[in-house]
Amino acid sequence: MKKTISIITAVILAAVLLAGCAGQPAVSEPASPSASASVSASAAPSEESSPSPAQKTDVSVASLIGPTGMGLVQLMDKQDKGEAACNYTFTLSGTPDDIVAKITSGEADIAAVPVNLAPTLYNKTNGKVKLLSINTLGVLYVVERGDSVHSVADLAGKTLYASGQAATPEYILNFILSNNGIDPAEGLTVEYKADHSELASLVTAGKADLAMLPEPFVTTVTQKDPSLRIALDLTDEWDKIEGNNGSALIMGVMIVRSDFAEKNPQALAAFMDEYKASTEFVNGNIPEAAALIEKYGIMPSAALAEKAIPNCNIVYIDGQQMKDQIAPFYQILFDSNPKSIGGTLPDDAFYYAKP
């Protein structure tokens, strides 16, 4: 499908991740294998100092396959070893729609979602979800077979293949092009493909010489075809525009059901601590994390995962720092298209803070 994009002036996003845990157990069952995969079962106690299974709260965590799932792998491993503070059930899904169904039905207590989906759900459910943390910054790159693109200006007059139409990637691209003075209607053509996998296949088959892709697909295609190179890091391009305005390029966040947060503050605090430690482990122990990423089926190869992790911008940011970074970003989205975040800027109750 071929489309010449009209540039809009701002946006990004749209549907592309130990104190005691006593409390009301939250029942969570893994989804059917056709929709998502359960990657961990409830753990048994590993030592006397750990809470017994009867004392641990059941916590169901849903994540998209990709960088947000990568950040969870050490916690998944702890769960399987019986060392986690709660009885976690993890499910990995391929589409945001599957995650939405889990969180709105109560099947999932905590979920990793695209950044714009968090306020959209908050508005549509009348506050039944809260923003827990930022977990993924920018992961989009322009790859080129050749050496003609070294700046955003070099994209003018070219055909750029992309995925994520009417979603995060399109909005990011539009924002960056617009702020670099490029009007696609006068030369730049963006040809969108149905999904990231389809586009990656076209790139490696030599049928798309200039493409915008997210990690870990960037690592996959550049490893398969050494003639491809990363021409532009769209996070860098975003920072050139917004670096002094406090708005970070944020791709993914973690949300929690408000009811679960209210009933299980200790369990939620434990998850936050363990998840933060897991993201730090992934970034600080890349070979070991890569092996776990392969083990849990997030990427097919530890070798590829090891190369992809540094470009995935996996983070853990919560509390006031989270709000300071993401609120300006939501303002940009709202000013450009209120529907992109559910029609209304989220109020202070949207942002979860540990009690």
* Chain centre to alpha carbon of residue 51: 31
The span from the CA of 179 to the CA of 267, in Å, is 44
What is the DSSP code (8-state) at residue 246? T
- The answer to whether 154 and 87 are in contact (CB under 8 A) is no
The candidate with the shortest Cα–Cα distance to 8, out of 246, 334, 244, is 334
Distance CA 87, CA 56 (A): 6
Which residues contact residue 262 at a Cβ distance below 8 angstroms, ignoring those fewer than 6 apart? none
How far apart are alpha carbons 35 and 148 in whole angstroms?
Answer: 41
User: Whose CA is closest to 271, among 62, 122, 113, 66?
Assistant: 62
168-178 vs 234-242: helix axis angle to the nearest 10?
50
- Write out the chain's pLDDT in tens, 355 residues: 433 333 333 333 333 333 334 333 332 333 333 334 445 433 333 343 445 555 899 999 999 888 888 999 999 999 999 999 999 999 998 888 899 999 999 999 999 998 989 999 999 999 999 999 999 999 999 999 999 999 999 999 999 999 988 777 887 888 899 899 887 666 688 999 988 999 999 999 999 999 999 999 999 999 999 999 999 999 999 999 987 777 789 999 999 999 999 999 999 999 999 999 999 999 999 999 999 999 999 988 999 999 999 999 999 999 999 999 999 889 877 877 788 899 999 999 999 998 8
The Cα–Cα gap between 250 and 252 comes to 6
Residue 44 gets the label, from left (phi > 0), alpha (psi -120 to 50) or beta, of beta
Q: Enumerate the β-bridge partners of residue 141.
A: 213, 233
CATH numbers and ranges of domains, the chain = 1-340 (3.40.190.10)
Task: Specify the residue for token string 């942002």.
Answer: 351
pTM: 0.80
Q: Are 76 and 296 in contact (CB under 8 A)?
A: yes
Task: Assess contact for 67 and 112: CB atoms under 8 A.
Answer: no
d(CA 330, CA 246): 12
Query: In degrees to the nearest 10, what's the CA dihedral of 299, 303, 287, 88?
Result: 10
Task: Assess contact for 118 and 340: CB atoms under 8 A.
Answer: no
DSSP 281-312: HHHH-HHHHHHHHHHTTSSS-HHHHHHHGGGS
Task: Show Cβ contacts of residue 65 under 8 Å, excluding neighbours closer than 6 positions.
Answer: 92, 93, 94, 297, 298
Residues 7 and 183: beta-carbon distance below 8 Å: yes
